[in-house]
Structure formats: structure tokens, C-alpha cells
Structure 1
Amino acid sequence: MKTLAYLQQKLRSAEDLKAVVRTMKAMAASNIGQYELAVSSLGEYNRTVGLGILAYFREKPPIVLRNKAIVGSKKEPRYCAIVFGSDQGLVGQFNDAIAGFMAAYFSDLPGKKEVWAVGERLGSKLLDLGYPPTKRFVLPAAVEAITPLVSQILVKSEENIDNGRFNGVYVFHNQPKIGVGYSQIAEKLLPLDEQWKQRFLSLEWPTSYLPQVAGGMKDTLLALIHEYLFSSLFKACAASLASENASRLIAMQRAEKNIEELLENLHHDYHQLRQGLIDEELFDVISGFEALKKGR
């Protein structure tokens, strides 16, 4: 049976939970801003790197750098997927969506597959789909911590391409949509093949002055490629973190709405019960008064 003390305790608990949800909403909104700013700031940098690669290929178009990180391996196909998920909960279907998208995409590729999971909670989702992660990485908690993670992933992936273990490395992540929500993205990170080269040859040089490459041709291209790979992974990680916080913000908004409905019902029950107790006390007073009056 509900009592006033019980309802008061439930109201206090609901109010405390509402305060926590509001705090998490504010944190998610703040995080979305910083990660989206990081993604947008990479746009101009990527354009600069792309123009540098364009300058190299226009300077020496017949030259092809024979490096396994560029042309890939000719052995039995073996592919690696780097999948960005989340380390924390309260993100709705965030991990399920990207894990399912990766599994569907990889099912169309022949050969063996290997999966690297970025985010602790993503690993269990991949395991359920038959893709147990062979490597796990911890997601950064701030923009400043993305660089060490990206450097670590980049070193591992280039090592496996260089020794011929992988024929290709793909990156899967969620990306914020214009307005509300997010979508799943798949990008081929390695090898950097002829199709990758043509992407830069299709760019237009912004001025009438012909570009020239200063320094060693091979060293220049390797430096540009390293920056291209780094910025690609950095952008994928930042976009995934922005999507994660957007998903958490949506979840917190739903939770806040449910808590407000719960509070409304609890307040209604509390006032109804309190009014009933007051009515009972009034009836007792009236009954006592009537009995006393008859006695006199």
C-alpha cells in the first residue's frame, strides 16, 4: 500500500535522477560541439594535403612509388576492419548499428577478415555477429586524446600492410547527419591504389601558377601520405565521438521526458493520497463532534 512517506521518497529519487540526466544532456551537447569543430577544422587541412599530393602527381605523373603501403599485396585476400564504437552506455542503438553495418559490408568481400574494435562496448556486439575483435582500443575522452589513439592504430595498420598480412584496411564509423541522428560510413584506408591516386588527379589547382615539389620526390610523397592517413583516421574518430554524444543526447532527452511523466504521476498520486487522508481526518473530526453533541 502506498503511503505519503513512500511517495515522497519516490519523488526525491525521481528529482535526483532528473538532475543527473540534465547534467549528462549538458555534457553531451558540449562534447558534440568540440568534436564537430574538430571534424570541420580538418576540412581545410585535408584540402591542403590533397593539393600537395596533386602537385606530386602532376610534377611526376609516370612515377609510381613501389611500396606495400601504396600498392598492397597480391597474396590471398585478407582484410582488416577498424570499427569505432563506444566505451560508455546510454547511446541507444549506436554500437548495434555500426556493428551490423560492418558485418553486412564485410560479407560481400572474399577472403579472410580481421576486426579491430575501438570502444569496449562494441566488442560484445561484434562477437555476437561472428567477428571477435583481435585488437581492442580505448576511446579517448577528449579531442586532445585522439592523436595518440590515431597514431597507435596507424602504426599497427601500416605494419600489417608492409609485411603483407592485409590486402586492405577499412574504417567503419558513425557520422552525424544534418539535423538529427547519424549514419554509417565505410572508408577504404589502405592500400593506396590507382583509384586513390585518381581522386587527387581530379582536383583543380586553385591558382594559375604551376606547382613544384621541393626536396626528394619519394620523401615528399611519403610525408603527404602519412598526413593523409592520419587526418582520415582522426576525422573518423572525431565523427564517431560526435555521433556517440548525439545519440546519448537523444537518449537523455527521452529519459528526461519519461522522468517528467513519472514525476507528474507521482505528484498526482501524492496529492490524491494526501487529500484522502485530510478528508478522513475531517470526517473523524465531524463524527466526533456529532457524537459529542448528541451526548450533551
Structure 2
Amino acid sequence: MSLRHKIGGAGDLKSVVRSMKALAASSIGQYERSVLALGDYFHAVELGLAVCLRTQSAAVPEHTEGANGTSRTTGAIVFGSDQGLVGQFNDVLAEYAVKALSAVPGSKKVWAVGDRISARLADAGVRPVGAFVVPTSVNAITSLVGQILVASEAHGCGGEIGHLFLFHNGPKSGASYEPVGQRLLPLDAQWGLGLARLPWPSGKLPEVIGDREQTLRALVREYLFVSIYKACAESLASENASRLAAMQRAEKNIDDLVARLTQSFRRLRQSSIDEELFDVLSGYESLSKGTSHPGSHTG
């Protein structure tokens, strides 16, 4: 009876795993579509920056070394997960981010997106100064990016942060992922020169109307917004890809367990049937012996 219960419990668990697989696969799709949808907008922002940076009068709003020549604090935003069942998703990313930051001199300020990545970073000796909740849908990403920008600008406006990095897991082919690092700030002269060389899609070049410096700063903010949004969406797609892979492994393990339990159940059932047949045969033989030697009677 215990084996029956175990087989039934494994079947129930498999149903849960299948539901989680379907949810993860659906989530991957929505986050991947959001990344693709960003492509045209991101290109439009780059074209706007290219127009502003083609003239010498518009300087890149740059975050560089401090006025006294000393290195300022390095900031980092690390996207992880709040939930489990994602395999080595957080461990691999934490190791990658800590190694990358250790190569950068000076003090560090790290913001973690996700309780689990925050704990991994703290265990590695990099305690986050702030933490954010991982979005549960595409619609919630915009709010998170706004919070990150406010937090980073609160330190950056005071000249505290000189460099800002993004670390997240990015999707690869299939259901795999890999850790990715990106330097978001400073927006240096080389970055501006690369944008200024972008070809304009038509033969007529546009002009900036109004305050060119103000327009440039607005476009830079949009550039940062889209970069962080893209990192977050890719991280969420990778998280669900990792969860999908974990659920696929779990489903296989459950199938193997059910097969072993079913085999054991069949052996026990067959043994029970054999014992019952043996008892029937033994009883029949005893009965046959009793009727084949009747007692003798004298006349």
C-alpha cells in the first residue's frame, strides 16, 4: 500500500512540475519579445544621440575621475532571482560579478535585484548596499528600472560613483544562459565618437531644436533606461530558461522514480500472487491426500 501512495505522490508531483514547465516556457516568450521590441526604440535613441554628438558644441555628459585625480566609487547592479528552482543561476552570476569587480580598484557599491543573488554576493564578501524585488511580469520592469535609476543617480549626482556596471545572465541558444557584464558609465568620448558615426537612414539630416545640451541629457537618460531594461528582461528570460531546464531534469527524475516504484510494486504483487497460488496448491494437495486414503471398514 505504501508503494501505491508513493507512485500516486510522484504522479501528483509530476503534474506540478509540468505546470511549472509550461509557466516558465510562457514567461521566456514574453521576456524575449520585450527584448526584441526594444530594438527599434533603442536604435531611435542612438540615432538621436548621433545627431546631438555630431557637433562639437555638444559634449558627452561624462562620469570620470574625481577632481582631485582619485578614483571614485565603482557602482554595480546585479540582476538575480528571488525564487529558487533555477539551478546554478545565482551562483554562476555571483562568482562572475565578484571576479569582475575585484579587478576594478577602489571601493564598491552594489545593488542586487533579487534576494537570492543578494545572499550569494554577501557570502562572497560583497555585501549589497541596496536590494530590489525581481519583477514578476514585463509590465513591472519599467517601475524597477525607474527605482534603479533614482538610486544610482542619488549617488552619481554627488560625484560619488565614477563607474557603473551591469551584471546579469543573458540567454544563449536553446535553454542555456551565460553571465554578462557591461560598463554602463562613464559615457566617454570614444562612446560618443562611435555614436556620431552612425549612418542616418535617409538623405536628409535632422537638426536639434531648442537646448542641445538638455536634449542630449534626456537622450542619455533614455539610453541608460533602455540598457537597464534590456538587462532586466534578458535576466528574467534566462531565469525562466534555467527553471525550465531544472523542471525538465526533475520530470526525468520523477519518471525514473515512478518506473522503479512501479517495477518494485509489480514484483511485490507477483510475489503476493505466487504466495496465494502456493497456498491454494498446498491446500489442494492436502485435501487430495486426505480423500485418496479413506479409513478401512470391517464387515
Tell me the TM-score normalized by structure 2: 0.93
Higher mean displacement: 159-168 or 46-55 = 159-168
**Kindly tell me: are residues 136 and 191 of structure 1, through their superposed partners in 2, closer, same or farther at Cα, counting changes over 3 Å?**
same
For residues 41-120 of structure 1, the aligned pairs below 5 Å read 41-58=37-54, 60-64=55-59, 70-74=62-66, 75-120=70-115
Deviation at residue 73 of structure 1 after TM alignment: 4.4
The aligned residue for residue 279 of structure 1 is: 274
Deviation at residue 244 of structure 1 after TM alignment: 0.3
The aligned residue for residue 196 of structure 1 is: 191
Within the candidate set 22, 25, 41, 1:29 is matched to 25
Cα distance per residue 1:206-231 (max 9 Å; x no partner):
11112211222122112111111111
**Which residue type is aligned with residue 11 of structure 1?**
I
Other structure's SS at 1:175 match = strand
Pairing 1:214–2:209 present:
yes
Deviation at residue 159 of structure 1 after TM alignment: 1.8
Deviation at residue 108 of structure 1 after TM alignment: 1.1
Other structure's SS at 1:76 match = coil
- Alpha-carbon distance between aligned partners in 2 of 1:240 and 1:45, rounded to the nearest angstrom: 20
Please, which runs of 5 or more residues in structure 1 have no aligned partner?
Answer: none
- Alpha-carbon distance between aligned partners in 2 of 1:63 and 1:213, rounded to the nearest angstrom: 11
- Alpha-carbon distance between aligned partners in 2 of 1:189 and 1:206, rounded to the nearest angstrom: 26
**Preserved contact between residue 73 and residue 164 of structure 1 (Cα < 8 Å):** no
- Alpha-carbon distance between aligned partners in 1 of 2:203 and 2:20, rounded to the nearest angstrom: 51
**Preserved contact between residue 73 and residue 167 of structure 1 (Cα < 8 Å):** yes
The aligned residue for residue 35 of structure 2 is: 39
Q: How many residues align?
A: 288
The aligned residue for residue 165 of structure 2 is: 170
- Alpha-carbon distance between aligned partners in 1 of 2:63 and 2:243, rounded to the nearest angstrom: 40
Q: What is the Cα-based RMSD across aligned positions, in Å?
A: 1.2
Pairing 1:19–2:52 present:
no
Please, which runs of 5 or more residues in structure 2 have no aligned partner?
Answer: 292-299
Cα distance per residue 1:65-122 (max 9 Å; x no partner):
5x5xx33441433101100000000101100111111111111111111211100111
